[in-house]
Amino acid sequence: MKVNLKAKPYNLSDEQIHWVESTIDGMSIEEKIGQLFFLMCADPREASLDESLSIKPGGVMARPLPAQAVLGVHNYLQANSSIPLFLAANLESGANGLFAEGTNVGHPLLIAATDDPTLAYKQGEVCIKESKALGGNMSFAPIIDINYNWDNPIANIRSFGDDHKRVSAMGQQYVDGVQDNGGFVTIKHFPGDGVDGRDQHVAKTINSLSYEDWFATFGRTYKENIDNGATGLMSGHIALPAYFEHNGITSEDKNTPASLSKVLLVDLLRGELGFNGLIMTDATLMTGFGGEGRRQDLVPLSIANGNDMFLFTKNIQEDYKFMMDGYNNGVITPERLEDALRRILGLKAKENLHLKDNITAEATFQQYQKEHQQIAKDVADKGVTLVCDEGGILPLDKSKVKKIGIIFLGNQKDMAAEMSGMDKMGIHEEFGNLLTKEGFEVSFIDHSNFEAVIASMSQSVADFKNSYDLIIYFIKKDTKSNQTTVRLEFNSFIGFDAPWFVHEVPTMAVSVANPYHQIDLPNITTFINAYSPASHVVEAVVEKMMGRSTFKGISPVKLDFSPFTGSLDRWK
């Protein structure tokens, strides 16, 4: 299906279309093939950037770096590209997905817990305004996956929850927030994550919903976001066998992931759902892609079967050769190549990137941040959720609680800070400091070393009870690539970190990531879900624990831990 550049989401003028067509006419085949590639930049040195520029790619995605480094990378790339580049980042939670100093509004699940779609709009606005100040123009977001399976290790806090109507509404608002401010989006991960309990980084996954259930939920969500004008879409390494079975399709294996499926990309996405915009693969370094065949075959096949751009390379020159060979061997037809190029350049023309004044940045993100940080605080205040307080622990009574022991479980490092090389105090330490400032005696109960375990083995229950008036599990278990579970792991090999003491000392839990930890802590009856490991979020948590602020959040997911079988009965 050929692109219509006068229709949504492009809506180009005759002048813009002329630039697209004349630019394509003036390109060599080598330049055309280069435009299909969307590369990753984690190394800001010029030698690395020059290697990326050697194939004249269509886009580059930066990993989080300090602001000045990002600014330098973006301006260098654009200055040395004859055709303007898409410059993207994973702006799922905030501009911190691009640069270390960027505003972190909060994970999408925190936005969902506010039940206020206008805050999703503000999140998109925050992301693109700060990113554009550093030369960025594209968000690899929003995620419009529906987290039906509580055991899914990827969607989780990155989703807007398990209510497809809320997911759709908030996805549309995020899109509007970005696109109203001159940026591009990629709704993801088509045909929809949140059903399988596996991770595409390590295995192809399956959206196992029935044909009817998929169209009523994921299909409806994608259709509504497409009709709303989303400019781009990311195809996941996710299969949708029910579509093949319902339609009697045998031209492809029904378990072919969307990133390689002509049936799902052309027949379903372009045809039935009417998507006219840009399609790119999800990262092709994932085993969900690479495990489907030889890379030399998969690289051109992804474009031949309906993607317009190819996300990330293993080896730039080798993957480029694979793509070129695919064109020369007829896997990618001239017609498919030209259509992909029109979609790529058409989107660039939409925001007039071909006018050089629109691509040079000057690092003006600071002008927005006071307002943006207030938005983040509002999100935290409205999103932090009291799941239960059957133990009657809250608000904390200083006449009864003086000594607090904290057991920290999860991932210590902040991923964005770690990737940018910028050290940061652990969020659990920030939480402890806030409680100390409230006047509590705070200590961390740590059984991660042998000496601590030996000491605990000989400690009497009476002594343990005398040591603490309250024990708090503080949990930060983020989703991340190649982590196949977000379930709790206890530090002590003998189990001293497990809640054996709930009937000895009042005990509560605070999760600043995965909201499903009650599956592993069923005996804890005071539980707070905060969804995002950020400073402004833990500040809101402590304010609410002290009773100075009410809990306003609603759980955006069902806390039902029966195994997910592919049936949506519990949501009907």
Beta-carbon neighbour count of residue 367 at 10 Å? 11
- The secondary element (H helix, E strand) that includes residue 311 is strand 310-311
Residues 128, 92: Cα–Cα separation, whole Å: 11
The residues assigned a catalytic role are 282
Contacts of 255 (CB under 8 A, 6+ apart): 204, 206, 239, 241
Residues 95, 365: Cα–Cα separation, whole Å: 10
Q: Give me the sheet containing 59-62, strands edge to edge.
A: 184-185, 138-139, 86-89, 59-62, 37-41, 310-311
- The secondary element (H helix, E strand) that includes residue 38 is strand 37-41
Exposure on the CB side of residue 238, measured as CA atoms within 13 A? 25
Residues 157, 148: Cα–Cα separation, whole Å: 12
The strand pair at 385-389 and 526-529 is best described as antiparallel
Contacts of 352 (CB under 8 A, 6+ apart): 16, 358
Helix, strand, coil percentages, rounded to 5, for the chain: 40, 15, 45
Q: Is 6 helix (H, G, I), strand (E, B) or coil?
A: coil
Q: If we measure between CA atoms, which residue out of 240, 278, 270 comes closest to residue 256?
A: 240
Residues 246, 450: Cα–Cα separation, whole Å: 57
Q: Interior CA angle at 91 toward 171 and 561, to 5°?
A: 60
Contacts of 516 (CB under 8 A, 6+ apart): 150, 151, 156, 486, 557, 559, 561
Q: Is 221 helix (H, G, I), strand (E, B) or coil?
A: helix
Convert 141-159 into a string of H (helix), E (strand) and C (coil).
CCECCCCCCCCCCCCHHHC
Residues 528, 387: Cα–Cα separation, whole Å: 6
Tokens of residue 570, six digits:
């519990």
Beta-carbon neighbour count of residue 342 at 10 Å? 21
